[in-house]
Amino acid sequence: MRWTPGKVSRNIEDRRGSGFGGRGLAVGGGGMLILALVSMLLGVDLTGLAGGGAGPAPAAVEQGGAVDESPEERERVLFVSTVLDSAQAMWAEALPRATGTQYRPATLVLFRDAVQSGCGAAQSAMGPFYCPLDEKVYIDLGFYDELSQRFGAPGDFAQAYVLAHEIGHHVQHVLGISNEVRRAQQGNPGEANALSVRLELQADCFAGVWAATVPHMIEPGDLQEGLTAAAAIGDDRLQRQAGGGVNPEGFTHGTSAQRQEWLRRGLESGGDPNACDTFAGR
Q: What is the 3-state secondary structure (H, E, C) of 159-207?
A: HHHHHHHHHHHHHHHHHCHHHHHHHHHHHCHHHHHHHHHHHHHHHHHHH
Could you tell me if residue 65 is inside a domain? yes
- Rounded mean pLDDT of 97-110? 97
Rounded Cα gap, residues 75 and 170, in angstroms: 25
Rounded Cα gap, residues 73 and 160, in angstroms: 15
CA separation, residue 114 to residues 62, 122, 136, 180 (Å): 10, 6, 15, 30
- At residue 261, the pLDDT reads 95
Contact 229, 162 (CB under 8 A): yes
Q: What is the 3-state secondary structure (H, E, C) of 54-92?
A: CCCCCCCCCCCCCCCCCHHHHHHHHHHHHHHHHHHHHHH
- At residue 251, the pLDDT reads 84
- Rounded mean pLDDT of 219-227? 93
Rounded Cα gap, residues 58 and 222, in angstroms: 41
Examine the pLDDT at 13 and tell me if it is beyond 90: yes
Could you tell me if residue 5 is inside a domain? no
Contact 76, 83 (CB under 8 A): no
Could you tell me if residue 271 is inside a domain? yes
Exposure b/e, 74-99, CB count within 10 A at least 16 = b: eebbbbbbbbbbbbbebbeebbeebe
- Residue % of the chain over a pLDDT of 70: 83
Instruction: Say what the pTM is.
Output: 0.83
- At residue 57, the pLDDT reads 37
Contact 69, 17 (CB under 8 A): no
Could you tell me if residue 6 is inside a domain? no
Could you tell me if residue 51 is inside a domain? yes
Rounded Cα gap, residues 49 and 67, in angstroms: 35
Examine the pLDDT at 27 and tell me if it is beyond 90: no
Q: Other C-beta atoms within 10 Å of 189: how many?
A: 8
The tens digit of pLDDT for each residue in 34-70 reads 444 544 443 334 343 333 333 333 333 344 557 889 9
Give the chain's domain count. 1
- For the chain, what is the mean pLDDT? 84
Could you tell me if residue 135 is inside a domain? yes
Could you tell me if residue 2 is inside a domain? no
The tens digit of pLDDT for each residue in 159-181 reads 999 999 999 999 999 999 999 99
| pLDDT-derived band at 240, boundaries 50, 70, 90 | confident
Which residue range is the domain that position 49 belongs to? 12-276
Could you tell me if residue 109 is inside a domain? yes
